[in-house]
């Protein structure tokens, strides 16, 4: 049985490839740029673009199961082609915000296209990725500082290896058809606590500077974020910074239930990614 992993060069997809290979599956990996893929031995790398369904013909040949990275454009044609090629099961990388009108419409387009295809489907809706901190890695490497508003905002970061482990489980195991799994990491931490944990992982202190939200808002908009998105996001952070947010045990338990072990902590994520943050200041 061949499993096609799309988004295979991504933070999660790369882990999905690795975990499926380790479990002995026949894995095919999709990328738009095979030369730059850097995927492990043992995986067949194929070129294709999810925005150009006709480019997927070779990638889909003989595939029975598929991990679908969410690219809304042309997704109905992509799943129709997959069905014609003989794919029977699709596991969708969606997001916990899928039902949020501001952030989730792309996820819902992909989920709906797969539901309407008549293929067997499972939707994965992970919460915020710990990997989002990689956007701050350069600043940490060069200045050892993170400047953000709402240092007290709480999130429940999810390690990409856990998203991948959930995906690998539902790709391989029966019994998950028609299920939507919303899940998250095992602990609720403030933004400032997450910065501290990255500092511990690299053995260096990282300064957290709390920005004034009004100034930060202008900066984010200048960086290209739409004002209405920034407002919703900042509103969510302001709300969560107001009081102690308990861990969403239900979401954390999904990882344990599906993978047989608790989700990885943020400290573990930071240790796994220490190299991304630790280049010394020259």
Ligand X SMILES: NC(=O)c1ccc[n+]([C@@H]2O[C@H](COP(=O)([O-])OP(=O)(O)OC[C@H]3O[C@@H](n4cnc5c(N)ncnc54)[C@H](OP(=O)(O)O)[C@@H]3O)[C@@H](O)[C@H]2O)c1
End-to-end CA distance of the chain: 50
* Between 12 and 161, CB nearer to ligand X: 12
**Measuring CA to CA, which residue among 6, 12, 3 is closest to residue 162?**
12
138 and 224 in contact (C-beta within 8 Å)? no
* Between 7 and 199, CB nearer to ligand X: 7
Q: How far is the CB of 226 from ligand X (least distance, A)?
A: 17
Environment class of residue 262 by beta-carbon count within 10 Å: exposed (0-12), middle (13-18) or buried (19+)? middle
Q: How far is the CB of 73 from ligand X (least distance, A)?
A: 8
**Closest residue to ligand X in the complex (CB):** 10
Q: How far is the CB of 163 from ligand X (least distance, A)?
A: 8
* Between 36 and 281, CB nearer to ligand X: 36
Site for ligand X, rule CB under 6 A: 6-13, 30-33, 49-51, 69-71, 93, 95, 126, 128-129, 131-132
233 and 164 in contact (C-beta within 8 Å)? no
Q: How far is the CB of 187 from ligand X (least distance, A)?
A: 16
User: How many Å apart are CA 247 and CA 229, to the nearest integer?
Assistant: 25
* Between 12 and 201, CB nearer to ligand X: 12
**Measuring CA to CA, which residue among 242, 241, 240, 217 is closest to residue 230?**
217
Q: How far is the CB of 171 from ligand X (least distance, A)?
A: 15
Residues 6+ apart with CB under 8 A from 273: 131, 133, 134, 137, 201
* Between 68 and 206, CB nearer to ligand X: 68
């Amino acid at each position: 049985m061949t499993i096609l992993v799309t988004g295979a060069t991504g933070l999660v997809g790369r882990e999905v490839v690795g975990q499926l290979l380790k479990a002995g599956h026949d894995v095919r990996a999709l990328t738009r740029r095979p030369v730059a893929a850097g995927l492990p031995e043992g995986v067949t790398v194929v070129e294709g673009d999810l925005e150009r369904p006709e480019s997927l013909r070779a990638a889909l040949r003989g595939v029975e199961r598929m991990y679908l990275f969410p690219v809304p454009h042309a997704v109905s044609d992509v799943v129709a082609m997959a069905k014609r090629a003989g794919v029977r099961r699709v596991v969708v990388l969606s997001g916990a915000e899928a039902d949020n009108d501001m952030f989730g419409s792309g996820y819902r387009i992909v989920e709906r296209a797969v539901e309407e295809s008549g293929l067997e489907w499972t939707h994965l809706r992970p919460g915020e990725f710990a990997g989002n901190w990689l956007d701050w890695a350069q600043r940490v490497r060069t200045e050892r500082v993170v400047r953000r508003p709402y240092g007290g905002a709480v999130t429940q970061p999810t390690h990409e290896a856990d998203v991948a482990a959930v995906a690998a489980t539902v790709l391989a195991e029966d019994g998950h058809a028609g299920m939507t799994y919303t899940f998250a990491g095992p602990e609720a931490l403030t933004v400032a606590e997450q910065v501290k944990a990255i500092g511990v992982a690299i053995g260096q202190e990282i300064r957290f500077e709390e920005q004034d939200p009004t100034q930060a808002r202008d900066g984010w908009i200048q960086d290209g974020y739409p004002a209405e998105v920034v407002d919703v996001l900042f509103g969510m952070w302001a709300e969560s910074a107001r009081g102690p947010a308990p861990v969403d045990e239900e979401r954390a338990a999904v990882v344990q239930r599906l993978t047989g072990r608790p989700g990885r902590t943020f400290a573990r994520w930071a240790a796994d990614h220490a190299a991304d943050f630790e280049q010394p200041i020259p």
